[in-house]
């Protein structure tokens, strides 16, 4: 996902919403409430023949720059991660991520603010610019005063950063003696409190961030360690990046957005099971976004974690030359710490959002219950047992049957169906058991959803994709505006992907494209054909004949093996001869072992 562009949407009093119909925020700006309507009800997702230009339409030189960019970012990742990892000696990943991600956020808002100041000053001094301030009437002090007019920043969607929160100020004061007076009158009490004061100042000036920035003084990190982090981030060239002496065509906000995403992934790996609560592997997120193609409309994630689906959607839109302001983002998260990560993730990229006013359990207390969404994407926790409340017994969301109290899988599925707009599409990750379970009413719910002809595609995923669970998973894709009525596409991707290390599997870009292209060709009835062992278009009658079980392997069958031309009888003769030879070798080996044992007195 690409970080903020010139359309960045900060949380300011002048902040403009994502769509033309959204009303401006009030001076007490909070995340959009249920009364705010960012996306109009007429907003519909782009159809397959309404897509913006694709990313293939790039200049020839873009490939060279892409290679240099990747090399630069890889080196940057390594440098910053090694610096951050020094905190591991004192803190576990669950805690030190707050310090490091806070530093990234602080550096970002400060850099964008400072860069905008420089741009404004240039405009003030350029006679042909509409912002020109004639020195005959505006002396240096008046220009400086004009430079500090907040409206110049808010109208261009730049966070207002007070003097005490600017990166150069923090860097210059890091080595101040304890008790010395600071420029704003208070006493210096250490680097951690200096940074906490910066967070406090940013939150006061930008109400949408209130309570979001994690304070770090309570972690008790040594002064030298914090100073080292400040220096490392300061030395990194975000504004004029180079690789091998050549300039890199990459904006500072793009760099910081990449770093934030990389760090979230690394922290998730370090935390293991807990990390999966806020981070879905990038390749899985990308696959779902590529399948749904969310060009415009309301985008919703009811179990948003750190907001990865929103990040990927923004990247998808920009890579296809779409309009990132044509979408409105809605999400909900029950974990307060994880919700903070999501807010910072959006702020870094300039994505406007409505996450409600607080963290809440989506199933028990949905914050967007009155909204209908055009695209819904989610990776809810698998097989959650402790989710039920008696208040949910007659919930209108359970249109296809009341979910079992012992498993929330079909509660999540029906919650998302309930929120779909008239032509909405959705995709969610669930445990494989959701495709075949017949217990506690799950089989009946699945049957009812199938008979309603809502299911577009089922994707069986390989194992070892997730940091937090080894439970095999699948993707359910549902569509209220199906092009192939009465049919479901089954894709068996269990043998696709590669082992990125000894533990985790991943999808390559080609793997993602193969699955997404198969789905789109099937939807459009263009160049699609069933491939044994990989994909099969099945009718609802076929599914009924299989007791409404949605396991992909039942439909796609086994991959065809090319005939090698050797007759079966000849194969069996060769195999039998080989087996007898191995039996003989085994007997010889047993005799040798017996002799060796006897020579040792056994």
The per-residue b/e assignment along 161-175, b for 16 or more CB within 10 angstroms, e otherwise, is bbebbbbebbeebbe
302 closest CA partner among 354, 370, 380: 380
Q: Is residue 223 located within the same domain as residue 129?
A: yes
Partners of residue 187 on adjacent β-strands? 181
In 3-state terms, what secondary structure has residue 471? coil
Q: Is residue 188 located within the same domain as residue 327?
A: no
Q: Is residue 364 located within the same domain as residue 453?
A: yes
Report the alpha-carbon distance of residue 145 to residue 384 in Å, rounded.
56
Report the alpha-carbon distance of residue 474 to residue 498 in Å, rounded.
17
- Res. 57: pLDDT tops 50: no
pLDDT at 435: 96
Q: Is residue 490 part of a domain?
A: yes
* Number of compact structural domains in the chain: 2
- Res. 24: pLDDT tops 70: no
- Res. 274: pLDDT tops 70: no
Q: Is residue 50 part of a domain?
A: no
Q: Is residue 78 part of a domain?
A: yes
Task: Name the token pair of 546.
Answer: 């299989």
Partners of residue 242 on adjacent β-strands? 247
Band (pLDDT 50/70/90 cuts) for residue 34 is very low
Say which residue, 571 or 506, is predicted with more confidence: 506
Q: Is residue 94 located within the same domain as residue 191?
A: yes
Taking residues 21-33, what's their average pLDDT?
A: 37
Instruction: Indicate the burial class of 355 (C-beta count within 10 angstroms; 0-12, 13-18, 19 or more).
Output: buried
Q: Is residue 263 part of a domain?
A: no
Q: Which of 538, 554, 570 is the last residue of a domain?
A: 554
Domain that residue 219 falls in? 62-250
- Res. 13: pLDDT tops 50: no
Q: Is residue 483 located within the same domain as residue 343?
A: yes
Place of tokens 């999966």: 276
Q: What percent of the chain has pLDDT over 90?
A: 48
Q: What is the pLDDT of residues 326-385, one digit of tens each?
A: 999 999 999 888 898 889 888 878 888 999 989 999 999 999 999 999 999 999 988 999
Q: Is residue 168 located within the same domain as residue 99?
A: yes
Taking residues 387-403, what's their average pLDDT?
A: 95
Q: What is the pLDDT of residues 459-501, one digit of tens each?
A: 999 988 876 567 789 999 999 999 999 999 999 999 999 998 8
Over 279-346, what HEC string results? CCCHHHHHHHHHHHCCCCEEEEECCCCCCHHHHHHHHHHHHCCCCHHHEEEEECCCCHHHHHHHHHHH
Exposure on the CB side of residue 75, measured as CA atoms within 13 A = 12
Q: Is residue 14 part of a domain?
A: no
Band (pLDDT 50/70/90 cuts) for residue 22 is very low
Q: Is residue 197 located within the same domain as residue 85?
A: yes
Q: What is the pLDDT of residues 196-251, one digit of tens each?
A: 999 999 999 988 788 889 899 998 888 988 998 898 888 776 666 777 878 887 77
CB 59: neighbour CB atoms within 10 A?
A: 8
CB 183 within 8 A of CB 189: no
Q: Is residue 82 located within the same domain as residue 131?
A: yes
pLDDT at 557: 87
**CATH number (domain holding residue 430):** 3.40.50.150
Taking residues 440-449, what's their average pLDDT?
A: 96
Partners of residue 36 on adjacent β-strands? none
Q: Is residue 140 located within the same domain as residue 106?
A: yes
CB 463 within 8 A of CB 496: no
Q: Is residue 299 located within the same domain as residue 445?
A: yes
Report the alpha-carbon distance of residue 520 to residue 517 in Å, rounded.
5
**CATH number (domain holding residue 98):** 1.20.1260.30
Q: Of 44-48, 315-319, 556-560, 562-566, give the lowest mean pLDDT range.
A: 44-48
Q: Which of 211, 235, 250 is the last residue of a domain?
A: 250
Band (pLDDT 50/70/90 cuts) for residue 154 is confident
Q: Is residue 211 part of a domain?
A: yes
Q: Is residue 30 part of a domain?
A: no
Say which residue, 69 or 353, is predicted with more confidence: 353
Q: Model-level pTM? A: 0.74
- For the chain, what is the mean pLDDT? 83
Q: Is residue 373 part of a domain?
A: yes
Q: Of 146-150, 283-287, 415-419, give the lowest mean pLDDT range.
A: 146-150
Q: Is residue 284 located within the same domain as residue 217?
A: no
Q: Which of 217, 250, 283 is the last residue of a domain?
A: 250
Q: Is residue 202 located within the same domain as residue 313?
A: no
pLDDT at 278: 52
């Amino acid at each position: 996902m690409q970080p903020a562009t010139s359309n960045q949407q900060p949380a300011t009093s002048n902040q403009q919403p994502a769509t033309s119909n959204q009303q401006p925020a009030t001076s007490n700006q909070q995340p959009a409430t249920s009364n705010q309507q960012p996306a109009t009800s007429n907003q519909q997702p782009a159809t397959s023949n309404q897509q913006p230009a694709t990313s293939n339409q790039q200049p020839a030189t873009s490939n060279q720059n892409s290679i240099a960019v990747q090399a630069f970012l890889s080196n940057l990742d390594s440098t910053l991660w090694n610096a951050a990892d020094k905190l591991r000696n004192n803190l576990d990943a669950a805690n030190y991520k707050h310090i490091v991600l806070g530093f990234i956020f602080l550096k970002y808002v400060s850099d964008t603010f400072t860069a905008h100041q420089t741009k404004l000053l240039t405009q003030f001094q350029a006679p042909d610019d509409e912002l020109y301030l004639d020195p005959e009437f505006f002396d240096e002090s008046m220009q400086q005063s004009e430079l500090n007019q907040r409206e110049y920043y808010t109208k261009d969607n730049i966070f207002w950063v007070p003097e005490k929160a600017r990166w150069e100020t923090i860097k210059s004061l890091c080595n101040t003696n304890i008790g010395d007076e600071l420029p704003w009158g208070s006493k210096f009490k250490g680097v951690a409190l200096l940074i906490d004061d910066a967070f406090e100042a940013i939150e006061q000036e930008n109400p949408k961030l209130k309570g979001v920035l994690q304070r770090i003084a309570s972690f008790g990190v040594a002064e030298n360690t914090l100073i080292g982090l400040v220096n490392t981030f300061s030395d990194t060239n975000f504004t004029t990046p180079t690789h091998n002496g050549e300039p890199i065509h990459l904006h500072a906000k793009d760099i910081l957005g990449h770093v934030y995403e990389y760090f979230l992934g690394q922290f998730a790996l370090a935390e293991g099971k807990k990390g999966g609560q806020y981070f879905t592997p990038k390749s899985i997120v990308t696959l779902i976004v590529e399948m749904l193609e969310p060009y415009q409309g309301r985008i919703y994630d009811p179990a948003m974690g750190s907001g990865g689906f929103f990040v990927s959607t923004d990247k998808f839109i920009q890579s296809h030359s779409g309009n990132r302001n044509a979408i409105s983002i809605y999400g909900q998260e029950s974990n307060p710490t994880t919700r903070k990560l999501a807010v910072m993730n959006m702020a870094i990229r300039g994505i406007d959002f409505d996450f409600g006013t607080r963290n809440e359990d989506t199933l028990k207390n949905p914050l967007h219950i009155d909204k209908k969404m055009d695209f819904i994407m989610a990776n809810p926790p698998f097989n959650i047992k402790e989710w039920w409340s008696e208040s949910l017994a007659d919930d209108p969301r359970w249109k296809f049957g009341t979910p079992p109290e012992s498993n929330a899988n079909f509660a999540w599925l029906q919650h998302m169906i309930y929120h779909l707009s008239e032509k909405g599409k959705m995709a969610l990750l669930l445990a494989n058991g959701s495709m075949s379970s017949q217990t506690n009413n799950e089989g009946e719910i699945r049957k009812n959803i199938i008979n309603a002809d809502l299911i577009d595609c089922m994707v069986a995923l390989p194992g070892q994709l997730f940091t937090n669970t080894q439970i095999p998973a699948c993707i359910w894709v549902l569509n209220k505006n199906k092009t192939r009525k009465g049919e479901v596409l089954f894709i068996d991707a269990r043998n696709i992907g590669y082992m990125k290390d000894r533990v985790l599997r991943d999808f390559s870009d080609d793997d993602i494209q193969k699955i997404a292209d198969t789905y789109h060709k099937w939807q459009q009835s263009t160049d699609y054909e069933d491939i044994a062992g990989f994909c099969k278009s099945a009718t609802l009658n076929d599914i009924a004949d299989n007791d409404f079980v949605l396991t992909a392997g039942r439909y796609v069958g086994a991959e065809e093996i090319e005939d090698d031309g050797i007759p079966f009888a000849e194969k069996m003769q060769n195999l039998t001869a080989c087996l007898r030879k191995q039996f003989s070798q085994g007997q010889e080996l047993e005799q040798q072992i017996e002799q060796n044992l006897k020579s040792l007195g056994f």
